[in-house]
Amino acid sequence: MVGREMVADSHFRAGRTQPPGFALSAAAAITAAVLGAAAVILLVLANSPQALPVTPPFIAHLAGMLGGYAVTLMVLLMSRTPAFERGIGADRMARWHGRLGGITVTLILVHGVAATIGWAEVQGITPWQATTQVLDMPGLSAAAVATVLFVGIGIVSARSARRRLRYETWHTIHLLTYLAIALSFSHELAGPDLAGNTVAQLLWSCLYTVSFALLLRYRVVEPLMQAWRHQLRVQSVTPAGPGTVSIVVRGRHLEELGAQPGQFFRWRFLARTSWLAAHPFSLSAPATERHLRLTVKAAGDGTGLLQTLKPGTRVLAEGPYGAMTERRRTRHGVLLIAGGVGITPMRTLFESLTVTGPMTLVYRASTPADLLFRDELEDIAARRGAQLIYLVGRSTEPGNAVTADNLTRLVPDIRDRDVYLCAAPGLSTTARGALAGAGVPRRRIHQEEFAF
């Protein structure tokens, strides 16, 4: 059985056309990051007077250097470099960024505390006296401000705090990270592990330069170039369901964007009430040379304001981003699972995937009125000979529950298919558990989430 599966996968990959563009895999990215961390550790060890000295100064140096290195990784993860987005996926990079943020703040705090304790031991003074002396040293006041900023940003980025903040507020606070990095950089170069070592200082500076160059290239320059080239404006805003609208954006030369079904853009609508924030929304129809369509459900202040956009409003669109595309597919058969407004990328994949085997879309909604694109989906299913299954009603009803038994009943060959999933976090968690229970390997479950 395993042998036949491997042969089938190999044959499938050989005959499938991949979307263009280099993609850095998650495994390659993790390997590169680990090798970089190992190099930082070796640099600190090389500058230590004795092998593996577990002393406050050594801990301070190691934590400080690893914290500085982790900062560059966080910047790279949020740079929106296309190779990272295609190969790793925006949602996975966001999760990595969040976890790395907690590690970075911890390392910075350990560095500050250990350095103060070490200075107190060397000078034979109290920790409080050491703190005041350390803050009087050149460049240390700026580093202390940077530490406070990092800690504050870490606190508001905690999951419990994020739930209480508007996205726009959280995003504005998060931008202070760049100020914190700038304030701490000179302190890093002046530290004992880099000071006097020209080669190490150059390599460290290059690491920061490359990470910020990619950030500026793909988060500032590229969107401005696209705005000039494509001249995007809102063409129409039409109701698509309860509290939901479809926004058609017109432009020129849009085929140059290379947008793939399943991908998303970060949209900034330049109206008086909405220009401050960019929101990630998937395309809800395949891109054409002149039009892009997205569908937005009012889920807060920011998305609520988009319901009343006026035709002619200018649009900045960063992207396309996302790895939930044809590239991820490894099997002939496909199952798409959508919940609520998560149907948007599933609708484009349902129409566009070049499947040679069976294709099924399972669409979960609370009421019939919540089913978006119903006519479009039924037309696509009829044209493609695909299966369209609605699960409408309370999730407590046995027939509507997304369970391993139900999925296996609806899609008997589910173990032999790729699965694309887009739904609210609760349903996503339930669906992943059900898919695992139905015997679908994790590597064949493809999903992206945009929660901040």
pLDDT class of 18 with cuts at 50, 70, 90: very low
Task: Decide if pLDDT at 220 tops 80.
Answer: yes
- Residue 451: the pLDDT is 52
Tokens 């993790």: give the residue: 30
Q: Are 231-321 and 327-447 in the same CATH fold?
A: no
Give tens-digit pLDDT for 257-270. Answer: 989 898 899 899 99
Mean pLDDT to the nearest integer, 63-69: 94
pLDDT class of 5 with cuts at 50, 70, 90: very low
Distance CA 166, CA 427 (A): 23
Mean pLDDT to the nearest integer, 347-354: 93
- Residue 2: the pLDDT is 33
Q: Would you list the domain boundaries of the chain?
A: 19-225, 231-321, 327-447
Give tens-digit pLDDT for 21-65. Answer: 677 888 999 999 999 999 999 988 887 766 566 788 889 889 999
The hierarchical CATH code for the domain 327-447 is 3.40.50.80
List of residues 6+ apart from 167 with CB closer than 8 A = 277, 279, 300, 302, 452
SS (H, E, C) the chain: CHHHHHHHHHHHHHHCCCCCCCCCCHHHHHHHHHHHHHHHHHHHHHCCCCCCCCCHHHHHHHHHHHHHHHHHHHHHHCCCCHHHHHHCCHHHHHHHHHHHHHHHHHHHHHHHHHHHHHHHHHHCCCHHHHHHHHHHCCCHHHHHHHHHHHHHHHHHHCHHHHCCCCHHHHHHHHCHHHHHHHHHHHHHHHCCCCCCCHHHHHHHHHHHHHHHHHHHHHHHHHHHHHHHHHCCEEEEEEEEECCEEEEEEECCCHHHHCCCCCCEEEEEECCCCCCCCCEEEEECCCCCCCEEEEEEECCCHHHHHHHHCCCCCEEEEEEEECCCCHHHCCCCEEEEEEEHHHHHHHHHHHHHCCCCCCEEEEEEECCHHHCCCHHHHHHHHHHHCCEEEEEECCCCCCCCCCCHHHHHHHCCCHHHEEEEEECCHHHHHHHHHHHHHCCCCHHHEEECCCCC
Distance CA 68, CA 40 (A): 10
- Residue 10: the pLDDT is 37
Mean pLDDT to the nearest integer, 135-155: 85
- Residue 7: the pLDDT is 33
Q: What percent of the chain has pLDDT over 90?
A: 43
Tokens 């996975």: give the residue: 92
Give tens-digit pLDDT for 171-208. Answer: 778 888 889 999 888 888 887 778 878 898 999 999 99
- Residue 382: the pLDDT is 95
- Residue 156: the pLDDT is 81
Give tens-digit pLDDT for 147-160. Answer: 889 888 888 877 76
Give tens-digit pLDDT for 414-446. Answer: 999 999 999 888 888 899 999 999 999 998 999
| 346 close to 324: Cβ distance less than 8 angstroms | no
Domain 231-321, CATH number (from 3.30.70.1450, 2.40.50.140, 2.40.30.10, 3.40.50.300) = 2.40.30.10
Task: Decide if pLDDT at 11 tops 70.
Answer: no
Q: Are strands 333-339 and 359-365 parallel, antiparallel or unpaired?
A: parallel
